[in-house]
A and B are shown apart, each in its own frame.
Chain A
Amino acid sequence: MISKDQAALEFKSVGKRYGAVKAVRDVSLTIAPRQFVALVGASGSGKSTLLKTINRLAEADSGEVVYEGDPVGSLPLPALRRRVGYVFQSIGLFPHMTVGENIAIGQRLAGEKLSSARIAELLELVELEAGIATRMPDALSGGQRQRVGVARALAGDPHLLLMDEPFGALDPVTRDALGGRVRKLHDELGLTTIMVTHDMAEALLLADRVLVMDAGEIVADETPQSLLEGRGGAVAQELAAVPRAQADRLAELAR
């Protein structure tokens, strides 16, 4: 069990380089349980890499990531990844498996079986019909597919949900609906969630806490409210200026 004051996740001087490029530079950070954290930054700022050091899709070169008290480097890789829900930018459904098989893959790897009742329940969580479980992924729309991706990430009852640009490939309406749904699930299931996005509006609307990354470093760590009030420094404000200006113009038009 996790004690109330224990951090869900702790980064201790984490660094990662790809050849000569330092993707992540000496990041130290603590994330409390049940926080919804948005990790925002321009392309190449290192936000995806930082996310991947958690389930070791990218291995940190220096420092360590501690998950619920265990350094992730000390956990067996498959076990670690099954304990952490992961939603992929590319959705990453296995095209040769049915929706149900995709959702149950983590349990299958562990030698367990996921009941069809549980699959139906997971599909219901992401607002899909239970009957969709027997369909193949290529028969679904993009939005439906990413909903299945979220259901798959939740199948193992993880405490931690990682999302790498989860709504990047979706149309705006679907994107909004799915974002809202994920935030609700986060609250209902008591998850700790980290979402990588380049869309500051999405981050401001969904997250409790917004981290801004630039050139491998965390340059701002603020609540949405304080970002909107102008704190967080130049890079953060540059990112926040876009949705704010859009909102102002829309308000102008509506008047």
Chain B
Amino acid sequence: MSDIWDALLNLGDQLAAHILLSAAAIALGIAVALPLAVWASRSPAVARAALGFASLVQTIPALALLALFFPILLSLRAVFGDGLPTLGFLPALLALSLYALLPILRNAITAQANLDPGVIEAADGVGMTFGQRLRLVEAPLSAPYIMAGIRTAAVWTIGAATLATTIGQKSLGDPIFAGLQTQNWVLVLAGCIASAGLALIADGLLGTIEKGLRTRRRALTFGGLAAVALGVGAALFAQFGGSDERRIVIGAKGFSEQYILARLIGQQLEANGYAVDYRDGLGSAVAHRAVTTGAIDVLVDYTGTIWTNQMEREDNPPRDAMLEEIVEWETDTSGTHVLGRLGFENAYGLAMRGERAAALGIESIADLAGAAGGMTVGGDPEFFERPEWIAVRNAYGLGFAEQRNFSPTFMYNALQSGEADVIGAYTSDGRIAADGLTILEDPQGAFPNYDAIVLLAPETGSDAAIRAAIEPLVGAIDVEAMREANLSVDREEGKLTFEEAARRLAERIGL
């Protein structure tokens, strides 16, 4: 239990960010929904269109809606210029506001439609103008119903805001995604408790306001409003009230190695007097985009990933030539700075349980081709979409009976339990040795090189002091050290936190 308390107490920053994001999204949702509802009450066509649109939005999974705002904002840069953020707060705000729209709009339109026509006629009959009727009669009579809609929207938004983590916005989703990644259930639980608790509190306060409006008890209404304002104000203070020093933002994709390396870099920077912040759980494409646009300052990426996914290359040159071209390409396209290799490679490789591979006599991917027809292949959610996989599949003519997506952690469990026969594993993963897995050889060299490299955002990269602080890590981490660190957070028993694993790794490589 004390673990959960510790984890909860560490969530202050995420809680404040979560409150601000949710409150801003609900506020924007209200600001759009209410005028729309007034318009809709005068025009059935507008009512149908508005409700239809809001319902349609609701059918899009929240995660997809969040993800879709990245390309939408990217294309809007043509209008608003390159300063338009495509990751983090803005897309999260827009997606969640759209999500909050439906319950508010629906309740507001229903409330208007259900107003007693006699009362509306009376409002006109006593000589009210359009605005007076809205302000003095329609708004106060609809208020309790609208408030009920806002209440529903708040609960949905607070829940969905945990997904904002995936597009680089700090939220209570951070511990959930990090915990899911490493099967650290304490972290997952802490994130759930915090976000559920926040939703319950918001529901209670908004319910108090609703009750105040319904029973016309001003003390309740204003008490509830004051409490909400106080909560949001406290979150604002927590986020922006401190010193406005520049924080260096370190990004991490959604797997253990990335979390550990982000902390390792963060600890180096902190030791040099910098304040740092983490954006965890980013998707691969999102993360690369984030560093090239300066949405994050530092990212550990992999040469093969950039080569095949961002540069869309299909050839497979030797590692030095590849790195050279990547450095040149990053400089030319965005000015992103490649600090250098960390010293280890985290390649994709196809892995099988050792004894199974031995029994079947499979040593290389070429051997697999014959047996694949009866097998299930597992991969992380990105794996089967990546050009590397397609290249390997085509090169060896692999045709599996079934392919299944797993979160990286569960992928190893699936291999052990037989739900998958082969997985797309990471070669720096400590579980390969710990689980006794065999990495199949790649005689055709279809998988490219995946040297871990440090990328610095264009502006960050031109800061010599920042470069100097991270420089000692370049070439310092061999694959054995990385595997040990990865295993220390992934294993079932005696898990280390990412911070602890990063400190041990720093010790081991002599920093």
Enumerate chain A interface residues (CB-CB to B < 8 A). Answer: 55, 57, 77-82, 86, 88-96, 105-106, 109, 136, 152
Say how far B211's CB is from chain A's closest CB, in angstroms. Answer: 15
Does B436 sit within 8 A of A, measured CB to CB?
A: no
Question: Cβ of A106 and Cβ of B124 under 8 Å apart?
Answer: no
Contact partners of B136 in chain A: CB under 8 A: 94, 105
Most buried by A among B116, B117, B127, B140: B127
Does B318 sit within 8 A of A, measured CB to CB?
A: no
Question: Cβ of A90 and Cβ of B126 under 8 Å apart?
Answer: no
Find residues 118-150 in chain B having any chain A CB closer than 8 Å to their own CB.
118-119, 121-129, 132, 136-137, 140-141
Say how far A102's CB is from chain B's closest CB, in angstroms. Answer: 9
Contact partners of A92 in chain B: CB under 8 A: 118-119, 121-122, 125
Which one of A79, A96, A152 lies within 8 Å of B126 (CB-CB)? A152
Say how far B238's CB is from chain A's closest CB, in angstroms. Answer: 38
Question: Cβ of A81 and Cβ of B122 under 8 Å apart?
Answer: no
Question: Cβ of A94 and Cβ of B118 under 8 Å apart?
Answer: no
Expressed in whole angstroms, the Cα–Cα distance for A14 and B492 within the complex equals: 88
Contact partners of B116 in chain A: CB under 8 A: 90, 95
Given contacts A82-B127, A88-B122, 12 further A-B contacts (CB under 8 A): A57-B125, A77-B127, A81-B126, A86-B126, A88-B125, A90-B117, A90-B119, A94-B119, A95-B119, A96-B141, A106-B127, A136-B216
Most buried by B among A79, A86, A89, A91: A86
A82-B122 contact given A96-B140, A109-B132, CB 8 Å threshold: no
Contact partners of A80 in chain B: CB under 8 A: 127
Say how far B461's CB is from chain A's closest CB, in angstroms. Answer: 62
Expressed in whole angstroms, the Cα–Cα distance for A69 and B140 within the complex equals: 38
A57-B119 contact given A94-B137, A96-B141, CB 8 Å threshold: no
Question: Cβ of A57 and Cβ of B216 under 8 Å apart?
Answer: no
Select from chain A the residue with minimum beta-carbon distance to B119.
Answer: A92
Question: Cβ of A88 and Cβ of B132 under 8 Å apart?
Answer: no
Which one of A57, A82, A109, A152 lies within 8 Å of B121 (CB-CB)? A57
Is chain B's binding surface mostly helix, strand, loop or mixed?
helix
Expressed in whole angstroms, the Cα–Cα distance for A80 and B119 within the complex equals: 19
Expressed in whole angstroms, the Cα–Cα distance for A105 and B141 within the complex equals: 16
Find residues 136-182 in chain B having any chain A CB closer than 8 Å to their own CB.
136-137, 140-141
Contact partners of A136 in chain B: CB under 8 A: 216
Question: Cβ of A106 and Cβ of B126 under 8 Å apart?
Answer: yes
Expressed in whole angstroms, the Cα–Cα distance for A91 and B116 within the complex equals: 11
Say how far B390's CB is from chain A's closest CB, in angstroms. Answer: 64
Say how far A92's CB is from chain B's closest CB, in angstroms. Answer: 3
Enumerate chain B interface residues (CB-CB to A < 8 A). Answer: 116-119, 121-129, 132, 136-137, 140-141, 216
A–B Cβ pairs within 8 angstroms, 5 of them: A81-B124, A81-B127, A82-B126, A92-B119, A95-B116
A78-B125 contact given A90-B118, A94-B119, A96-B141, CB 8 Å threshold: no
Question: Cβ of B126 and Cβ of A109 under 8 Å apart?
Answer: yes
Select from chain A the residue with minimum beta-carbon distance to B140.
Answer: A96
Select from chain B the residue with minimum beta-carbon distance to A80.
Answer: B127
Select from chain A the residue with minimum beta-carbon distance to B120.
Answer: A92
Expressed in whole angstroms, the Cα–Cα distance for A77 and B121 within the complex equals: 14
Say how far A202's CB is from chain B's closest CB, in angstroms. Answer: 21
Expressed in whole angstroms, the Cα–Cα distance for A90 and B118 within the complex equals: 5
Expressed in whole angstroms, the Cα–Cα distance for A94 and B128 within the complex equals: 13
Say how far B416's CB is from chain A's closest CB, in angstroms. Answer: 65
Question: Cβ of B121 and Cβ of A79 under 8 Å apart?
Answer: no
Contact partners of A90 in chain B: CB under 8 A: 116-119, 121-122
Contact partners of B124 in chain A: CB under 8 A: 57, 81
Contact partners of B121 in chain A: CB under 8 A: 57, 88, 90, 92
Expressed in whole angstroms, the Cα–Cα distance for A81 and B127 within the complex equals: 5
Select from chain A the residue with minimum beta-carbon distance to B125.
Answer: A86
Say how far B187's CB is from chain A's closest CB, in angstroms. Answer: 48
A109-B128 contact given A95-B141, A96-B140, CB 8 Å threshold: yes
Question: Cβ of B137 and Cβ of A109 under 8 Å apart?
Answer: no
Question: Cβ of A78 and Cβ of B127 under 8 Å apart?
Answer: yes
Select from chain B the residue with minimum beta-carbon distance to A162.
Answer: B125
Contact partners of A93 in chain B: CB under 8 A: 119, 122
Select from chain A the residue with minimum beta-carbon distance to B122.
Answer: A92
Say how far A50's CB is from chain B's closest CB, in angstroms. Answer: 16
Expressed in whole angstroms, the Cα–Cα distance for A105 and B133 within the complex equals: 11
Expressed in whole angstroms, the Cα–Cα distance for A81 and B141 within the complex equals: 23
A109-B127 contact given A94-B137, A95-B141, A96-B216, CB 8 Å threshold: yes
Question: Cβ of B126 and Cβ of A105 under 8 Å apart?
Answer: yes
Contact partners of B119 in chain A: CB under 8 A: 90, 92-95
Most buried by B among A57, A95, A96, A152: A96
Contact partners of B117 in chain A: CB under 8 A: 90
Say how far B120's CB is from chain A's closest CB, in angstroms. Answer: 9
Select from chain B the residue with minimum beta-carbon distance to A101.
Answer: B136
Contact partners of A79 in chain B: CB under 8 A: 127
Expressed in whole angstroms, the Cα–Cα distance for A135 and B424 within the complex equals: 74
**Top 5 closest A-B pairs, CB basis?**
A92-B122, A90-B118, A81-B127, A78-B127, A82-B127
